[in-house]
Chains A and B, each alone.
Chain A
Amino acid sequence: MCLTRRQLLARTAAGLAALALSPVAAGAGAPAASDGPLNRVIPSSGLAVPAVGLGTWITFNVGRDPEAIAGCTEVMRAFFEGGGRVIDSSPMYGSSQMVVGRGLAALDARDRVFSAEKVWTSSGGDGPEQIEETRAFWGVKRFDLMQVHNLLAWQDHLETLLAMKAEGRLGHVGITTSEGRRHGDFERVMATQPLDSVQVTYNPLDREVEARILPLAADRGQAVIVNRPFRQGALTRRLEGVPLPGWSRELGVSSWAQALLKFILAHPAVTCVIPATTRVDHVRENLAAASGPLPDRTLRERIAADVEAAV
């Protein structure tokens, strides 16, 4: 699937308008997938990626424990079998990068993965070396996306990443933040730099990005990756035992986790959400959230209100 940047911007803008004005925005600007997991397009390149990815924060940091590494590999196996592609990690995540690399090698999946990584060092000069170390961990030829983690030394790192992209050594360039940190700075970088993607925290309780960042990403043709959809599991734990409301049948969801993911994916600016998990059944459940109907604007508000009331 390949669209022009103009078409993509028009489609995203239409989606945002629909979300803002229409009580029904089925698929919220991106048609709901009834024949498999939903794909979303990275505006700058036209590359389509599955809308549910895999995060590795905490869950893949298991050191050299063979049993735990095997468990992570099984999670990755289920992820790829279910049509997933985007895996996101960072040098900040301890041994996660090494564990991802082991999994990719064991599953012979280096060509299947959409590799999303980060550079995380306060020294711009150390960036290239860290990126090369990271690449060696993954065992991939090049990264599909390299992001500046939490805006750390972003000026220097963006210079490096944009040069690497120009040389064909990187697919896309982005920046990340989490839990609402430094949104002011984040917006300024979004508005002034030629970014392909941004990564932010977004879920029914953390909606600050809806006001400015998501519309700005749509305006600027930047893909949006969503981290911490479950607040690192705290949200799903709090919702354990809370019965799913009636709208769950409407959406075809069987768990709160799926409802949270559908809430996020229904925003037209969102490209991909990256829940992290150590469980194969949860990976399958998360991927299933990218199939079937997505909530319209009214239903999204109901989901948010129900989540807020339940926690």
Chain B
Amino acid sequence: MPWTGYTLNDFLLFAPETYQRLFIRYHEAIWPLQIPAVIAMLVIPWLILRRGGVEPRMMRIALPILAVVWVWIGTDFLYQRYGEINWAAVWPAAGFMLQGVLLLATAFAEPEQPPDVRVPPAARDAGLLVMAAAVILLPLAAPLSGRPWLSAELVGVTPDATALFTLGLLALKPLRLRLLLLPVPLLWCLLSTLTQIAMDWPDAWILPALAAAAVAATLLPREKAD
């Protein structure tokens, strides 16, 4: 099929109100799962701050938690719910499930001993800031932009906040393996941003700006440990 002459809007299959309703109905359907999901996700930055950095042992707790969340969002939200209004949702859903597998696989691929590389302070700070933004700023974006509270993004529950949170965490990882975990959340952020632009969301810049910061931090060369 020739794709010339298509605009971004031609790929938007639903009304913005329908997209909002999708989130509202999802939040209503899974309530009160949001509470344990968010708490589980908050364990990750708590571990990081408590220990003063990312340790391989800590990743064996953090990454499996994230893996479960990615698989859950891929199957329940993207495949079953988003798939109702977007026949192409099967692809991001598969991507989320793949990311879950990769997170689980890399969790146990970390060495027992801390590596002789260290995360630069700039990458560490940027990663933590992006994670904080995913937890605090993204849920506020909907009501601050005039959309219903119940349509908000929530870390550990919805795709944007979870993808962004994951990108923030990757910026804190010392090993090259982190690059393997970059494509799926990055692609989702790109796809979601395009959807938001097509829907004329005034806050469509937030996700790509934060994702870009996290990716830049992730790509920063790691330093030799003293």
Contact = CB atoms under 8 A, between A and B. Distances in A.
Interface of A: 58-59, 61-65, 67-68, 92-95, 122, 150, 152, 179-182, 232, 278
A62 B18 contact: yes
Given A62-B85, A64-B84, A94 B14 contact: yes
Contacts of B10: 179
A62 B21 contact: yes
Contacts of A182: 2
Nearest to A150: B1
A64 to B, nearest CB: 6
B22 interface: yes
Tell me which of A67, A95, A152, A179 has the highest count of chain B C-beta atoms within 10 A of its own C-beta.
A95
A interface secondary structure, majority: loop
Contacts of B85: 61-63, 94-95
Nearest to B87: A94
Contacts of A92: 13, 87
Interface string B8-22: 011011110010011
B207 to A, nearest CB: 23
Contacts, number: 50
A61 B13 contact: yes
A96 B15 CA distance: 12
Interface of B: 1-2, 4-5, 9-10, 12-15, 18, 21-22, 25, 81, 84-87
Contact of A179 (B5, B25, B84): B5
A64 B26 CA distance: 12
Closest A-B pairs by Cβ, 6 of them: A63-B84, A63-B85, A94-B13, A94-B85, A61-B14, A181-B5
A65 B1 contact: no
Given A64-B84, A65-B22, A94-B85, 14 more contacts: A58-B12, A58-B15, A59-B15, A61-B15, A63-B81, A63-B85, A65-B21, A68-B18, A68-B21, A92-B87, A94-B84, A122-B1, A182-B2, A232-B9
